């Protein structure tokens, strides 16, 4: 009798027996991909239940595009609801969000903007002086730090030379609004969570920000922790969506800053590293992105302005096509099929070092030349996905579909044949590359080199996540040899994350 331990995904033929239990489990997951267990067969009456938090100017613009261009019938299905929140320092981008929100159905939505003050340094210092009190109230097991306010020195510039706000200042401004005074940010997150929980059925919350935006990335780490762990009690599916900076927008300082952003996301999203932070800093530093993290590169072949417009448009389509079914299917795909083979199908995925999922998109007029797709996406040469799903228009366009299937196959050589599913807008395609490590991104190596070239004062200003724990994540530990996390001042804080695993100096970029 022929063995049925394995199955040829292309032809359905039995394969030779697969030896290990793990291999059998992995084969079952790939079989499930072929059967399409993650797909929603009929989305016509699917209640819309995707909610957006846009952080910084780029995140706010994504929310604005969603509000302006979402289908008019998006919330018509019974049980549909949308909750939107845009947060920035200053009001320029937020005015456009409020304008776009005027035509959205108010009985089925809640849309709010929070413009954080740009306070004087003296006001920030006054708030920082109370941080030990704030942190002890938030987490009674918090480790006391005598130099709790030392992470923002009075000499820190409130603006960079290019007019952007340093990440350290962005974090302090958010913290002041969350912990101090009338706690406007705390109240806004509570209102957001309450509105989301009024949605019938399951919901997804997407936190969108620019990875190269010092305001967005400086705020998003803490905001995501507070929203996911404090407001939702980790019950809600929260997805992080980070927009990569366009190469035309990168200066040496912004490139250097990316190293801190990548490292902070790494200790949140990599389950092993995250445990090394949580053991010292507490439960509030658990990975807030319970449904994973998606990186969105901007097309290199387009100019900066046009590339960002395309990126906003494609994200809007991912959120809205088929009443949100395309995003639901993508997250099911990543968390069921892309999960470790030993994971129970009902469990949330504990991502390891390969925690990045990359959203790519194109059209019938935008097909990179053969072997040019990796460069367009900023990927290293040795990344190979286990599987790849191509989302194409409902009305099949064979020329478009075949061109992209061939291109993706030649560019990435996935282990199983590319799966084509409907769900993108006319004349466009979308795809998710699963399970990348930071070392699969060209930008990781550029950022590491730029960070090392800066002086200690500048490097300090690039940090955000662990500053109120008294630590500079990207610097060598002052307490435990070989670990990351230098103390600020005279504290004895620590994390159990090997520094070489953050930096990966053993891997040289292209």
**Residue 134: which CATH number?**
3.40.50.1440
Spatial CA neighbour of 333 closest among 429, 229, 418: 418
Structure tokens at 303: 């100019």
Q: Is residue 467 part of a domain?
A: no
| Tally of structural domains, the chain | 1
Q: Is residue 86 part of a domain?
A: yes
Query: CA 142 to CA 137: how far, in whole Å?
Result: 9
Q: Is residue 313 part of a domain?
A: yes
What would the pLDDT profile of 215-255 be if each residue is shown by its tens digit?
Answer: 999 999 999 999 999 999 999 999 999 999 999 999 999 99
What would the pLDDT profile of 266-295 be if each residue is shown by its tens digit?
Answer: 999 999 999 999 999 999 999 999 999 999
Q: Long-range contact list for 482-485, CB < 8 A, 24+ apart? A: 484/263, 484/267
What would the pLDDT profile of 189-224 be if each residue is shown by its tens digit?
Answer: 999 999 999 998 899 999 999 999 999 999 999 999
Structure tokens at 484: 């990351």
Residue 300 predicted with pLDDT over 80? yes
Q: Is residue 393 part of a domain?
A: yes
First-to-last C-alpha distance (Å) of the chain: 50
Residue 1 predicted with pLDDT over 80? no
Q: Is residue 17 part of a domain?
A: no
Query: CA 358 to CA 314: how far, in whole Å?
Result: 13
Residue 347 predicted with pLDDT over 90? no
Spatial CA neighbour of 104 closest among 59, 62, 72, 65: 72
For residue 71, give its domain range.
Answer: 50-440
Maximum average pLDDT range among 78-92, 116-130, 145-159: 78-92
Burial pattern 266-280, b for ≥16 Cβ within 10 A else e, equals bbbbbbebbbbbbeb
Q: In the 3-class helix/strand/coil scheme, how is 120-146 assigned residue by residue?
A: CHHHHHHHHHCHHHHHHHHCCCCCCCC
Phi and psi at residue 216, in whole multiples of 5°?
Answer: -60, -50
Q: Is residue 180 part of a domain?
A: yes
- Averaged confidence pLDDT in the chain: 89
pLDDT at 6: 39
Q: What is the bridge-based pairing of β-strands 14-15 and 6-7?
A: antiparallel
pLDDT above 90 coverage of the chain, percent: 71
List, in order, residues 6 or more apart from 172 with CB less than 8 Å away: 124, 127, 128, 152
Q: Is residue 482 part of a domain?
A: no
Find tokens 């996390």 and name the residue. Answer: 485
Q: Could you tell me which residues are beta bridge partners of residue 206?
A: 52, 239
Query: CA 220 to CA 65: how far, in whole Å?
Result: 20
Q: Is residue 386 part of a domain?
A: yes
CB atoms within 10 A of CB 230: 18
């Amino acid at each position: 009798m022929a063995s049925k331990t394995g199955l040829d995904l292309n032809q359905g033929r039995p394969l030779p027996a697969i030896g290990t239990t793990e291999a059998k489990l992995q084969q079952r997951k790939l079989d499930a991909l072929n059967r399409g267990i993650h797909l929603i067969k009929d989305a016509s009456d699917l209640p819309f239940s995707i909610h957006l938090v846009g952080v910084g100017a780029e995140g706010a613009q994504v929310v604005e595009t969603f509000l302006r261009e979402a289908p008019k019938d998006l919330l018509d299905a019974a049980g549909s609801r949308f909750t939107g929140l845009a947060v920035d320092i200053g009001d320029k981008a937020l005015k456009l969000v409020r304008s776009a929100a005027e035509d959205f159905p108010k009985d089925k939505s809640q849309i709010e903007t929070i413009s954080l003050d740009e306070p004087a340094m003296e006001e920030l210092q006054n708030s920082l002086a109370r941080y030990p009190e704030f942190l002890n109230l938030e987490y009674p097991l918090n480790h006391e730090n005598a130099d709790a306010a030392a992470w923002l020195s009075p000499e820190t510039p409130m603006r960079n030379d290019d007019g952007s706000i340093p990440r350290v200042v962005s974090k302090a401004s958010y913290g002041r609004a969350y912990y101090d005074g009338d706690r406007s940010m705390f109240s806004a997150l509570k209102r957001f969570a309450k509105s989301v929980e009024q949605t019938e059925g399951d919901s997804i919350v997407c936190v969108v920000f620019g990875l190269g935006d010092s305001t967005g990335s400086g705020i998003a780490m803490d905001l995501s922790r507070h929203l996911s762990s404090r407001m939702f009690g980790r019950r809600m599916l929260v997805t992080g969506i980070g927009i990569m900076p366009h190469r035309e927008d990168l200066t040496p300082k912004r490139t250097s800053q990316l190293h801190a952003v990548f490292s902070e996301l790494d200790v949140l999203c990599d389950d092993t590293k995250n445990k090394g932070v949580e053991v010292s800093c507490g439960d509030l530093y658990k990975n807030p992105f319970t449904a994973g993290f998606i990186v969105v590169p901007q097309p290199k072949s387009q100019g900066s302005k046009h590339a960002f417009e395309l990126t906003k448009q494609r994200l809007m389509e991912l959120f809205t096509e088929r009443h949100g079914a395309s995003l639901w299917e993508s997250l099911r795909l990543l968390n069921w099929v892309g999960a470790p083979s030993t994971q129970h199908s009902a469990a949330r995925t504990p991502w390891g070092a390969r925690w990045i999922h990359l959203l790519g998109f194109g059209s019938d007029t935008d097909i990179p030349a053969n072997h040019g797709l990796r460069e367009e996406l900023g990927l290293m040469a040795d990344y190979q996905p286990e599987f790849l799903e191509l989302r194409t228009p409902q009305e099949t366009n064979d020329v478009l579909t075949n061109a992209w299937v061939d291109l993706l196959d030649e560019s990435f050589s996935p282990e199983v044949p590319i799966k084509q599913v409907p769900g993108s807008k006319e004349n466009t395609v979308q795809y998710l590359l699963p399970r990348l490590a930071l070392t699969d991104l060209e930008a990781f190596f550029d950022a590491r080199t730029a960070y090392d070239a800066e002086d200690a004062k500048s490097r300090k200003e690039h940090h955000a996540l662990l500053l109120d724990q008294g630590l500079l994540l990207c610097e060598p530990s002052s307490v435990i040899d070989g670990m990351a996390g230098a103390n600020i001042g005279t504290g004895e804080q620590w994390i159990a994350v090997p520094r070489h695993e953050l930096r990966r100096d053993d891997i040289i970029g292209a």
